[in-house]
Chain A
Amino acid sequence: MSADIAAPRSQRLDPKYVRARKSRGSFEMIAWLFMRLSGVALIVLIFGHLFANLMLGEGITGINFGFVAGKWADPVWMFWDLAMLWLAMLHGTNGVRTIINDYAEKPVTRVWLKGILYVATIVIVVLGTLVIFTFDPCIPGSTLSVCQ
């Protein structure tokens, strides 16, 4: 009584129509999960950053070299800014990668746009990381205790 009906698309398609053939493994799923996890972390990091820099004290008028020196004298703010830099850049890069995949149709255009994106990301992440770790608050005539 029971007819053996093959499940849809089970080995019945010409291989040239099988889209899943060139599988990229679980990369896209990990990228999707990363956007959600880093997004939650970035809300805490960026809201804290904006509150400390723009809402407290003198707000934007108080931001100058001395303000940065004061913040980065504290390892917590160094780590805060480092985490914010890396997570925001990776989150933003993956977002723009998705947009390029959606709108750039010619393979050569996609390769070029993503190439420019990835080079920009590497330059900004490396530059920002070096700035955080090599920052020197001691300018001539500084009265900061670390410079005495």
Chain B
Amino acid sequence: MSKASSGTLYRGHEGMWSWVGHRVTGVVIFLFLLVHVLDTSLVRVSPGAYDAVMSTYKNPLMALGETALVAAIVFHAFNGLRLILVDFWKSGTKYHRQMLWGVLALWVITMVAFSIRHLSIAFGGH
């Protein structure tokens, strides 16, 4: 970190990085949401059109992408709850760092469980 920024309590610390993470995951999720409504809309075109696009999601390479997407969603969800506690709980600003480590711990646990199930289905080839 440069000397010029060493005087700030915010820049380069947990608060800034959780803010960056929340923004980046938010944009990624929003872009997928636009695509996801469009792909689901194919049920009104024909069953064949919908099934053809869904089959691309069942590709093992796409399963890794889906896992990354769920990782973004789960981080955004847990960090969002942390933001609500920072805003509404009177000790929220005092414990915002500890809550970020809690968010990351819950995120790892959730993603291990999700990945085991989702990737074993996607790579299982049944």
A135-B44 contact given A43-B77, A61-B58, A61-B121, CB 8 Å threshold: yes
A89-B50 contact given A60-B122, A65-B43, CB 8 Å threshold: no
Cβ-based interface call for B13 (8 A): no
A131-B84 contact given A60-B66, A92-B33, CB 8 Å threshold: no
Q: Which residues of B contact A50 (CB under 8 A)?
A: 70, 73, 114
Main secondary structure of the interface of A (DSSP, over half): helix
Cβ-based interface call for B47 (8 A): yes
Contact of B44 among A61, A66, A134 (CB under 8 A): A134
**B70 contacts A131, C-beta separation under 8 Å:** no
**A40 contacts B84, C-beta separation under 8 Å:** yes
**Shortest beta-carbon distance, B39 to chain A, in Å?**
11
Cβ-based interface call for B27 (8 A): yes
Cβ-based interface call for A139 (8 A): yes
Tally of A interface residues using CB under 8 Å: 37
Closest to B45 in A: A131
**Shortest beta-carbon distance, B108 to chain A, in Å?**
16
Q: Roughly how many angstroms separate A64 CA and B41 CA in the complex, as a whole number? A: 13
Q: Which residues of B contact A89 (CB under 8 A)?
A: 33
Cβ-based interface call for A73 (8 A): no
Closest to B40 in A: A131
Closest to B34 in A: A124
Contact of A95 among B26, B37, B122, B126 (CB under 8 A): B26
Q: Roughly how many angstroms separate A61 CA and B51 CA in the complex, as a whole number? A: 11
**Shortest beta-carbon distance, A104 to chain B, in Å?**
14
Please report which residues of chain B, range 28-80, place their CB below 8 angstroms from some CB of chain A when the two chains form the complex: 29-30, 33-34, 37-38, 40-41, 43-44, 47, 50-51, 54, 57-58, 63, 66, 70, 73, 77, 80
Cβ-based interface call for A55 (8 A): yes
**A54 contacts B118, C-beta separation under 8 Å:** yes
**Shortest beta-carbon distance, A41 to chain B, in Å?**
11
Q: Which residues of B contact A61 (CB under 8 A)?
A: 58, 121-122, 126
Q: Roughly how many angstroms separate A124 CA and B32 CA in the complex, as a whole number? A: 12
3 smallest beta-carbon distances between A and B, as pairs: A65-B47, A59-B121, A92-B30
